[in-house]
Amino acid sequence: MPWADRSLPPERDDDPPPTTPAPLDALEAERRALIAQVRRGVNSKRQRQLVHQIAALTLAILKGTGR
C-alpha cells in the first residue's frame, strides 16, 4: 500500500445518525392534530380557540421561525 493511501483518514463504515425532526415538523404535526378536532358548523368557544391556534401555527410555519 503506498504511503499516500495510508495517510488518508479511514472511511466511515456506518451511516450518520438520523437527524431529529425539525421544529417545523413538530408544528405541522400539532396543526394537523388540531385540524382533526375542528367540527364544521359548530360555533362554540372551543372551536373558535382551535381555529385561532391553527391560524397561529400556520403563520409560524410560513415564517419558518417556530413560535
Q: How far apart are CA 17 and CA 7, in angstroms?
A: 26
Among 58, 11, 10, 2, residue whose Cα is nearest residue 30: 58
- At 9-21, the pLDDT tens digits run 777 677 766 665 5
pLDDT of 67 > 70? The answer is no
- At 21-62, the pLDDT tens digits run 567 888 999 999 999 999 988 899 999 999 999 999 999 888
Cβ–Cβ < 8 Å for 3, 36:
no
Q: What is the pLDDT of residue 11?
A: 72
Q: What is the pLDDT of residue 2?
A: 72
pTM equals 0.62
